């Protein structure tokens, strides 16, 4: 029996050995007999129609089994939940890089070569690919809750204010770029198809694939025990998933399809470009009187997605008059999608920069300014906070970071040819539990009891296997080493996805509920009276039971909706800016996070570090550049799309606030995957201003913008 509690301990990942030895199975690692290989080929125009596809030469090429285009593809349900279109159902072209066909061959090399033999003739149409040119055409989004949200009279408050700013912040297109590109293996057994695929939402992928293929969900099995990153791009499903199934059906054998890094840039969504107009007003004492956050963005021609950049502005600060609005322009670009910290990471850059700008105008410390405008309840809906740690994050972070060394006036700290600056930025992200189910199976041999935990959860590399094992260990009284975790399979009990920071709370509470239930059921089987509640492991031994199992279907607390439930953070950056080259180095970074019960500080720390690294990349390097002449991305590999490397990142430290909040769920678990990136870019941008006196409002902040 486990004597020490495992939840809250920084234990190593139970799947770590599999990963470092290369034996963890990802989507394309499965060995199937007689497997064929598919390669997608894509449109080279942004708008128009295919008038002809000549595939004769490709079909005669050695090893080629099939060439699939809109001419011979089976009828699919385009409204089945697959994002981005490109399902080979029409000759119409809506963006550069749209799937227009795939070649299936004996080998990957044969399939790739055959794609070069295909001749495509187009009838081009006028395209909309220049966001700056077309931004003025933006209209109200079609989606619900995306219109203007107002409180009070912003215009009057702004007009009458003595201290105010009215500025535009810009964030570019970004791409997810997970280590594992999207890839799938498909094989059919009669009317049933199995899809090995990296899916952040196992059951979501199952239903989307089934609906699109016009078959029942029970005929689709998704297998995804390990995912090599996703950051939102593997939350919804894209055409490559279903097209692999189509190819396997047409050639009557297993098919493997893996996107190349270049294809990733126009196959699986992106973080859209945003223009964010911020207007802030305050009294001379530093009390906010008005906040307007107006976002203009883009979507696809026929499919809409709006990143909610104003979400942080709704609830981070107490302000009596506010406006949150969105406008969107349809363009010939693949539909945007959820990207880590969607809306909050980009929106917090604008909001936290604007807060810093107004604090400087007031000659007030930006931490003092934030605390002065701390709301007692959620300003957006009037609900009480389940808990809120922003002030604590700021105060503990300032002390640990050495904030007292910061000077309000820029360019006051130097070291040789470097200007040194300090910046802060706050963030938030909703914390939610979603319906999830779990099965617990107990097996006894002698006095040793082992457990198998089953649920259709997913692990992006964030440590899902491990936190499930820790939760079960404590609830069952069984060592972590005696627990087997089975996840990533739609044949298992349905579970929430690893999206929107709902995974850890949903999985852990479902497993905990199942462990409590199995203990209760074992006690009910016994005729003994217990002075102290026994563990499930003790009951298996005392009652001489060999095998026992149960299932629990967990739901969030009934009264959770009465509260505003969020994780919060405060980020502190120290930057060194070279006076002569404009190069920026983030020398130190501190992230202080209030996210309820931390199940595993080691995996949680890794999550926060990952968010900080991406936030630093957002601030300094990451940008997908679209060629307005053709509509294609000129940044389409990691040679041109610059993510931070080890040498770009200084010392990163993390602090977790000791927070007990059981209103979101029984275990008091909140998400950290999303909030880890929120506020980071703002902290870096504010530090750069403190170092240089230059306020850069369009990301990334490259050296040319500082010279």
- Which residue pairs from 142-148 have beta carbons closer than 8 angstroms and sit at least 24 positions apart in sequence? 142/304, 143/304, 143/306, 146/306, 146/308, 146/326, 147/325, 147/326, 148/323, 148/324, 148/325
Tokens of residue 237, six digits: 């499903």
Beta pairing class for 483-486 and 448-454: parallel
Work out the end-to-end distance of the chain between its first and last CA atoms, rounded to an integer number of angstroms: 63
List the Cα angle 656/658/660 in 5-degree steps: 130
Q: How far is CA 97 from CA 65, 137, 173, 633, 635, in A?
A: 24, 24, 16, 9, 13
What is the arrangement of strands in the sheet containing 649-656, beginning at the earlier edge strand? 413-415, 418-430, 566-578, 584-594, 649-656
CB 400 within 8 A of CB 653: yes
Q: How many CA atoms lie within 13 A of 80 on its CB side?
A: 25
Beta pairing class for 237-238 and 82-83: parallel
For 604-630, give one letter per residue: b (16+ CB within 10 A) or e: bbbbbbbbbbbbbbbbbbbbbebeeee
3-state secondary structure at position 81: coil
Tokens of residue 491, six digits: 């044949």
661 DSSP 8-state letter? -
Placement of tokens 């492991």 in the chain? 537
Tokens of residue 310, six digits: 């104003």
Beta bridge partners of 567: 429
Length of the chain: 707
CB 96 within 8 A of CB 43: yes
Considering only the C-alpha atoms of the chain, give the largest distance between any 2 of them, rounded to a whole number of Å: 81
CB 340 within 8 A of CB 610: no
Helix (H) or strand (E) holding 16: helix 16-20
Residue among 321, 323, 310, 324 nearest 282 (CA) = 321
| Rounded Cα gap, residues 170 and 353, in angstroms | 12
List the Cα angle 568/572/574 in 5-degree steps: 165
| Rounded Cα gap, residues 585 and 157, in angstroms | 39
CB 593 within 8 A of CB 657: yes
- Catalogue the active-site residues: 674
Placement of tokens 């505003």 in the chain? 564
Q: CB atoms < 10 A from the CB of 410, how many?
A: 17
CB 204 within 8 A of CB 237: yes
CB 281 within 8 A of CB 316: no
Tokens of residue 295, six digits: 């976002």
Q: How many CA atoms lie within 13 A of 651 on its CB side?
A: 5
CB 310 within 8 A of CB 380: no
């Amino acid at each position: 029996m486990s004597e020490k509690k495992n939840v809250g301990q920084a234990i190593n990942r139970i799947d770590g050995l599999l990963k470092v030895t290369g034996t963890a199975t990802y989507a394309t690692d499965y060995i199937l007999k007689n497997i064929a290989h598919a390669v997608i080929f894509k449109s080279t125009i942004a708008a128009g129609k295919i008038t002809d596809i000549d595939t004769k030469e490709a079909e005669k090429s050695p090893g080629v089994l099939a060439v699939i285009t809109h001419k011979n593809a089976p009828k699919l349900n385009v409204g089945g939940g697959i994002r981005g279109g490109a399902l080979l159902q029409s000759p119409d072209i809506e963006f550069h890089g749209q799937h227009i066909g795939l070649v299936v061959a004996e080998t990957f090399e044969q399939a790739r070569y055959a794609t070069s033999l295909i001749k495509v003739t187009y009838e081009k149409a006028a395209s909309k690919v220049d966001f700056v040119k077309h931004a003025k055409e933006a209209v109200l989004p079609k989606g619900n809750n995306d219109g203007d949200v107002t409180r009070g009279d912003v215009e009057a408050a702004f007009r009458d204010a003595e201290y105010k700013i009215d500025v535009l912040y810009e964030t570019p297109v970004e791409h997810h770029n997970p280590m594992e590109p999207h890839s799938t293996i498909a094989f059919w057994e009669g009317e049933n198809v199995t899809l090995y695929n990296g899916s952040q939402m196992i059951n979501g992928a199952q239903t989307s694939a089934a609906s699109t293929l016009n078959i029942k969900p029970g005929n689709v099995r998704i297998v995804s025990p390990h995912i090599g990153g996703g950051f939102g791009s593997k939350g919804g499903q894209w055409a490559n998933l279903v097209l692999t199934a189509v190819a396997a059906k047409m050639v009557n054998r297993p098919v493997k399809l893996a996107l190349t890094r270049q294809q990733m840039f126009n196959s699986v969504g992106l973080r859209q470009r945003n223009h964010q107009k911020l207007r802030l007003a305050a009294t001379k004492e530093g009390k906010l009187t008005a906040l307007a956050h107006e976002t203009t963005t883009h979507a696809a021609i026929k499919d809409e997605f709006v990143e909610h950049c104003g979400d942080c502005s709704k609830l981070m600060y107490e302000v009596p008059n506010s406006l949150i609005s969105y406008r969107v322009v349809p363009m010939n670009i693949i539909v945007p999608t959820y990207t880590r910290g969607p809306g909050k990471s980009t929106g917090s850059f604008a909001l936290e920069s604007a807060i810093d700008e107004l604090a400087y105008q007031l000659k007030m410390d930006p931490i003092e300014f934030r605390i002065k405008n701390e709301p007692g309840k959620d300003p957006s809906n009037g609900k009480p906070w389940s808990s809120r740690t922003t002030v604590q994050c700021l105060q503990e972070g300032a002390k640990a970071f050495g904030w007292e060394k910061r000077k309000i006036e820029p360019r006051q700290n130097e070291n040789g040819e470097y200007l040194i600056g300090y910046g802060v930025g706050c963030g938030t992200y909703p914390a939610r539990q979603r319906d999830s189910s779990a099965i617990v199976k107990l097996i006894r041999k002698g006095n040793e009891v082992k457990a198998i935990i089953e649920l259709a959860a997913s692990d992006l590399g964030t440590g899902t296997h491990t936190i499930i094992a820790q939760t079960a260990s404590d609830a069952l009284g069984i060592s972590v080493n005696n627990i087997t975790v089975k996840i990533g399979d739609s044949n298992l009990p349905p579970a929430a996805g690893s999206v929107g920071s709902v995974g850890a709370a949903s999985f852990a509470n479902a497993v905990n509920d199942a462990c409590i239930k199995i203990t209760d059921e074992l006690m009910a089987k016994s005729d003994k009276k217990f002075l102290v509640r026994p563990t499930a492991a003790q009951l298996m031994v005392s009652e001489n039971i060999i095998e026992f199992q149960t299932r629990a279907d967990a739901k969030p607390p009934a009264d959770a909706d009465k509260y505003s439930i969020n994780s919060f953070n405060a980020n502190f950056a120290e930057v060194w800016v070279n006076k002569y080259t404009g190069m920026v180095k983030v020398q130190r970074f501190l992230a202080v996070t209030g996210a309820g019960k931390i199940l595993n500080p080691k995996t949680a720390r890794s999550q926060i570090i990952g968010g900080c690294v991406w936030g630093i990349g957002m601030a300094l390097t990451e940008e997908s550049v679209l060629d307005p002449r053709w509509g294609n991305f000129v940044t389409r590999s990691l040679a041109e799309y610059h993510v931070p490397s080890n040498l770009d990142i200084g010392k990163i430290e993390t602090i977790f606030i000791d927070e007990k909040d059981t209103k979101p769920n029984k275990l008091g678990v909140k998400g950290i995957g999303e909030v880890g990136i929120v506020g980071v870019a703002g902290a870096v941008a504010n530090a750069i201003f403190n170092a240089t006196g230059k306020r850069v409002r369009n990301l990334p902040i490259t050296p040319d913008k500082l010279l």
